[in-house]
Structure 1
Amino acid sequence: MRAALLVLLLATPGLAETPMTPEEFDAFATGKTLEFSNESGVFGVEDYLPGRKVRWAATGDICKLGEWFPAGDAICFTYDNLPEQHCWTVWQEGDHLAARSLLDGPDRQPRQITLADAPVACTGPDVGV
């Protein structure tokens, strides 16, 4: 009976989405490059640097420097030259992480977050020599 209840809980959307704490997220992400994908494929890559700093590049776009910070159960991001913050609930899902924007409707599929094979490849101005 307990096994059947556990399977039901894990299979029910929303119930298995226990948010990572900021400390868990920091321990998982710092020093790594993470790849973000949705049902259409990879849409961006982000380097997680010490001190909660990040370097984000949407597929085909230039890099943006920013930082992340906790806000309740959410992990929020701000980027240079972008006034709005982006907040996500992040949780462990099997061998990867999953994330849902706080702006998403209930029917929106979570994004998958996996380890990338290489750091962000920045293009455009301000990438150095």
Structure 2
Amino acid sequence: MRHLAILFAVLAAPANAGMSAEEFEAYVTGQTLTYAESGVTYGIEEYLPNRRVRWSFIGDECQEGYWYEASGEICFVYEHNPDTPQCWIFTQEAGRLTARFMGASDGRELYAAERSSEPLRCLGPEVGV
């Protein structure tokens, strides 16, 4: 009987169930993660206390923002585009954090290629000669 209850609980779980906000927060806070897509480095995000973040596409300026949970997704809002949250479902499989973008029809999926406790080094605006 107990096995049936466990089976029903698993079957009833949403197919896109990812990490809860609490699980995600515990995994990322104080860390800087480098994300990649199909073997190509995509960007770097530093996860600060109080669900604050600092993001940079590779070779670009940093953007400040924050994250929150909405309907099982982890959503990010950045200063350059405060009206358009970027929502993802994060999962941890085989020791690797993956992120599936919920706004793209192309099924974009990133994975954390590196994890560090070092802060994100941000380029200044229009650095050059």
Partner of 2:68: 69
Q: In 2, Cα distance between the equivalents of 1:103 and 1:92?
A: 20
Q: In 1, Cα distance between the equivalents of 2:73 and 2:107?
A: 17
Partner of 2:19: 20
Partner of 1:3: none
Q: Is the 8 A contact 1:45 1:116 kept in 2?
A: no
Partner of 1:41: 40
Give deviations 1:7-38, integer Å, cap 9, x for gaps: xxxxxxxx6x6400000000000000011110
1:124 Cα deviation from its structure 2 partner: 1.5
1:115 Cα deviation from its structure 2 partner: 3.5
Q: TM-score, normalised by structure 2?
A: 0.77
Partner of 1:92: 92
Q: Is the 8 A contact 1:35 1:42 kept in 2?
A: yes
Stretches of structure 2 that go unaligned for 5 or more consecutive residues are 1-14
1:109 Cα deviation from its structure 2 partner: 5.1
Q: In 1, Cα distance between the equivalents of 2:45 and 2:20?
A: 19
Q: TM-score, normalised by structure 1?
A: 0.77
Q: Which moved more, 1:32-41 or 1:65-74?
A: 32-41
Q: In 2, Cα distance between the equivalents of 1:19 and 1:78?
A: 19
Question: Please, what is the CA RMSD of the aligned residues?
Answer: 1.9
Q: Which moved more, 1:79-88 or 1:112-121?
A: 112-121
Residue identity opposite 2:93 in structure 1: E
